[in-house]
Structure 1
Amino acid sequence: MQQRPLGRSGLAVSRLALGTMTWGRDTDADDAAAQLKSYLDAGGNLVDTADVYGDGDAEAVIGSLLGGLVPREDLLIATKAGVRPGNGRRRDCSRGHLLRSLDASLRRLGTDYVDLFQVHGYDPATPLEETMSALDHAVTSGRVRYVGLSNYSGWQTARAAVWQAAYPGRAPVVATQMEYSLLERGVEREVLPACEALGLGLLPWSPLGRGVLTGKYRNGRPADSRAVSPHFAAFVESYLDPRSSSIVEAVVTAAGGLGVSPLEVALAWIRDQPGVVAPILGARTVGQLLGALQAEYLELPAEITLALDDVSAIGYAYPERDD
């Protein structure tokens, strides 16, 4: 699998990443091991997780596979913190919470460092400088190699990256993780321009439009799909609309012409968008993952890329477009 630099950093990552949101809940340890082995065999090296995935179970599953299935030094681990499960304060990016969460993640992962530590969302109740100083401490203490953001708006992304770049010795922000797919292109308005200007690599989550771009929902909702899952039904529902359906039909048509699957077309499109480093594959089963990994070998013809650009285009107006 080809590799790309993660933003303006020396870290090279495979151009498809492995997500673990379902691990420890919908994906058991055996299936997770099979996924990780298949991913590594394909040349992948970046596994993304978070402290709230399965209430920590996803990290624990990864930790159980380190050393046996894969040497720690052969795997790049990215995790996130800053979201509190349950009711009450949803975001907590205070210094205390971030560092406590990091220590708990390291225990579950069974390692003394993570390669990428990402703030899971913007917290308006905590001063930005406090959040970023926690990331600096995580790096200088040796517990984190690189830092990033997730689900920050354009101005929030720019403010955090500029703050870190303003003083020598602060840990630079090298990446941000955002939802991005043919069904959700909102990051193109402000987040992607900020990333390109400030040297951040983009890691798209849900690059298959929460599974809708596979085409599985064209004729209903399969009994084993996320759309009927108690955990993810609402997550998928917003993309079961007429606009999404027209985009899915375009993807299916392109896939038929190329003799590949719709998910390969959708992944190849997002993988090659400007600023994108590695879409995160969130497969529930090893079979789904193997299908997604085939996208590594697909290069979309320019005319198909342009057609998909057109059918999924989003609007621009002042101030993003001032003409």
Structure 2
Amino acid sequence: MELRQLGRTGLRVSALGLGTMTWARDTDELDAAEQLTDFVDAGGTLVDTAASYAGGDAESLLGTLLGSRVDRRDLHLCTKAGVRHTSSGPMVDASRGALLDSLDESLARLGTDHVDLFLVHAPDAGTPFTETVSALRQAVTSGRTRYVGLSNHPAWATAQAATLLAGTDDVGLAAVELEYSLLQRGVDREVVPAAQALGLGLLAWSPLGRGVLTGKYRRALPADSRGASPHLAGFVEPYLDHASSGIVEAVVTAAEGLGRAPLDVALAWLLGRPTVASAIVGARTPAQLRASLDAAELVLPEAVRTALDDVSDVETGYPERW
């Protein structure tokens, strides 16, 4: 699998990343172990997790597999902090104490003394952004992480964090992680141009449009799909609308013409976008992951890429476009 430079850093990550959001919940230990083994055997290096995934159990499961299934040195671990689940629902807390405490707990669950990339999971309006950024600096200077970044933040916050981190200690902002696919191109308005200007790597989560770009929802709602799952139905539902349907049909048509699967086309389109360092594939089963791994080497013909660009184009205007 191709290794790509993460922005202007010296870190090179696999073009496909392994997402673990379903681990320890919908994906059990046996399937997780098979996924991780298949991923590494295919040349994958980047594994993406978070303190909030399955209440920390996803990290714990990954930690049990490090050493027993794969060598920690063969992986680049990315984890996120700043969102925790309470009895009243998810709570965002990107204060210095919350971020650093969460990182220490993540390291303990993962059984390692550092992660390769540490991200703030979501914006926190209740914490001064300077405090959040100072925690990122401390995470690097203390050796807990090699690189830092933001997840799900707007472009203005990305630019502010990059400015605040710029200094003599050479910490710097390395990456941003956001939802990005043919069904969700909001990042093209301002985040992608900002990442290009600032030299940041972009990690794309849900590159298959929450599973909809595989084409499996075109005719019905499969009983074993995320869309039929009690805790993930609301996650999939926004992309089961008429606008998304037209994009899915264009992907299916392109796939039929190329003799490939729709997910191959969707991933290939994304991996050809500016600043994208890795597409994080959150497969529920080993079979789903293997299907994605087969897509990593596809390069779309220019005519196909242009057609997909046009059918999925986002509306921009003032002030993005003067």
If the length of structure 2 is used for normalisation, what is the TM-score?
0.98
**Residue 146 of structure 1 corresponds to which residue in structure 2?**
147
**Residue 231 of structure 1 corresponds to which residue in structure 2?**
231
Residue identity in the other structure for 1:50: A
Q: Tell me, which stretches of 5 or more residues in structure 1 are unaligned?
A: none
Structure 1 residues 132-171: aligned runs within 5 Å? 132-165=133-166, 167-169=167-169, 171=171
Deviation of the 1:90 alpha carbon: 2.2
Counterpart-to-counterpart distance in 1, 2:144 and 2:84 = 21
**Residue 75 of structure 1 corresponds to which residue in structure 2?**
75
**Residue 206 of structure 2 corresponds to which residue in structure 1?**
206
Q: Is the 8 A contact 2:51 2:84 kept in 1?
A: no
Q: Is the 8 A contact 2:99 2:135 kept in 1?
A: yes
For each residue in 1:73-100, what CA deviation from the matched residue of structure 2 results, as whole angstroms up to 9, or x when unmatched?
Answer: 1111000000121336721110100011
Residue identity in the other structure for 1:283: A
**Residue 65 of structure 2 corresponds to which residue in structure 1?**
65
**Residue 287 of structure 2 corresponds to which residue in structure 1?**
287
* Structure 2 residue 218 is matched with structure 1 residue 218: yes
**Residue 37 of structure 1 corresponds to which residue in structure 2?**
37
Residue identity in the other structure for 1:113: H
Counterpart-to-counterpart distance in 2, 1:164 and 1:46 = 24
Counterpart-to-counterpart distance in 2, 1:296 and 1:77 = 20
Paired residues, number: 321
**Residue 50 of structure 1 corresponds to which residue in structure 2?**
50
Counterpart-to-counterpart distance in 1, 2:193 and 2:246 = 27
Counterpart-to-counterpart distance in 2, 1:76 and 1:313 = 33
Counterpart-to-counterpart distance in 1, 2:134 and 2:38 = 38
For each residue in 1:37-93, what CA deviation from the matched residue of structure 2 results, as whole angstroms up to 9, or x when unmatched?
Answer: 111011000000000001111101110001111111111100000012133672111
For each residue in 1:91-131, what CA deviation from the matched residue of structure 2 results, as whole angstroms up to 9, or x when unmatched?
Answer: 11101000110011011101111010000011111111111
* Structure 2 residue 19 is matched with structure 1 residue 19: yes
Deviation of the 1:297 alpha carbon: 2.1
Q: Is the 8 A contact 1:205 1:280 kept in 2?
A: yes
Residue identity in the other structure for 1:85: H
Deviation of the 1:277 alpha carbon: 0.6
SS at match of 1:222: coil
Which moves more between the two structures, 134-143 or 39-48? 134-143
Which moves more between the two structures, 99-108 or 86-95? 86-95
Residues 1:237 and 1:48: Cα distance change in structure 2 (over 3 Å): same
SS at match of 1:279: strand
**Residue 298 of structure 1 corresponds to which residue in structure 2?**
298
* Structure 2 residue 128 is matched with structure 1 residue 127: yes
How big is the alpha-carbon RMSD for the aligned residues of Structure 1 and Structure 2? 1.0
SS at match of 2:277: coil
For each residue in 1:236-276, what CA deviation from the matched residue of structure 2 results, as whole angstroms up to 9, or x when unmatched?
Answer: 00000001000000000110011110000000000110111
**Residue 264 of structure 1 corresponds to which residue in structure 2?**
264
Residue identity in the other structure for 1:174: A
For each residue in 1:200-231, what CA deviation from the matched residue of structure 2 results, as whole angstroms up to 9, or x when unmatched?
Answer: 11000000000000000001100000011111
Counterpart-to-counterpart distance in 2, 1:89 and 1:256 = 41
Give the share of equivalent positions with the same residue, in percent: 62
Residue identity in the other structure for 2:247: I
Counterpart-to-counterpart distance in 1, 2:171 and 2:126 = 22
Residue identity in the other structure for 1:153: P
Q: Is the 8 A contact 2:17 2:280 kept in 1?
A: yes
Counterpart-to-counterpart distance in 1, 2:197 and 2:309 = 22
Q: Tell me, which stretches of 5 or more residues in structure 2 are unaligned?
A: none
Counterpart-to-counterpart distance in 2, 1:198 and 1:270 = 20
Residue identity in the other structure for 1:98: L
Q: Is the 8 A contact 1:150 1:178 kept in 2?
A: yes
Q: Is the 8 A contact 1:136 1:170 kept in 2?
A: no
**Residue 182 of structure 1 corresponds to which residue in structure 2?**
182
* Structure 2 residue 10 is matched with structure 1 residue 3: no
